[in-house]
Amino acid sequence: MLTGILLAAGSARRFGSQKLLARLPDGRYVVEASAGSLLAAVGRVIAVIGRDDRLRQVLDDCGCQVVVNETAPEGMGTSIATGVRAGAADNPAGWIVALGDMPYLQPATICAVRDRLMAGGGIVIPTHLQQRGHPVGFAREYGAALMNLRGDSGARAVVSAAVADNPAVLQLVPVTDAGALADIDTPADLR
């Protein structure tokens, strides 16, 4: 069993308001679309938010387990740590870390990461047009490193350290999904 971690605690400074609750052309919230794709692929999703009751309600309604990251202003690393810690007692086979502001990411891409991870991948990253994208999958052995993350660098430090020790742990999965690279930064991105 894998656990999805949906990172939804960012400040959305460039967007100008709570971008995760902005509506897409199909009427769904940005975060609702992101959560739906992750849930479709892995079944269990822990959504990490800051203090935001409306966001909590939307993610609860989607079927996510919602946890509040009290240290969210310190950066994405603390949100990853909070999410992994929240699901550690279930001893998952690994985690798929996705971003709440990537509503165009297709479930098939997440499934490709999931399948490679379950087939023995250590760290799995999708690529589109030779660029690394999201979500990123981590096998169980990276749990402690993920739980110790701090600051705003996300999990880059975990990936870098793992690859420095053994380059073969990193598996890149080519996908045709442009959504693996597309996040929402400004209202113009809500196509």
Domain architecture of the chain: domains with CATH = 2-181 (3.90.550.10)
Provide the pLDDT for residue 78.
Answer: 95
Residue 152: pLDDT band by 50, 70, 90 thresholds? confident
Residue type, 175: V
**63 Rama class: left (phi>0) / alpha (psi -120 to 50) / beta:** left
Q: Could you report the per-residue pLDDT of 67-110, keeping only the tens digit for each?
A: 999 999 898 999 999 999 999 989 999 999 999 999 999 999 99
Start-to-end CA span in the chain (Å): 34
Whether residue 16 is predicted with pLDDT greater than 70 in this model: the reply is: no
Whether residue 153 is predicted with pLDDT greater than 90 in this model: the reply is: no
> Are 94 and 104 within 8 A, CB to CB?
no
Whether residue 177 is predicted with pLDDT greater than 90 in this model: the reply is: yes
Residues of the chain by 3-state class (helix, strand, coil), percent to 5: 45, 20, 35
Q: What sections of 88-184 are H helices per DSSP?
A: 107-118, 143-147, 156-165
What number is the average pLDDT over the span 121-147? Answer: 97
In this predicted model, which residue has the larger pLDDT, 31 or 89? 31
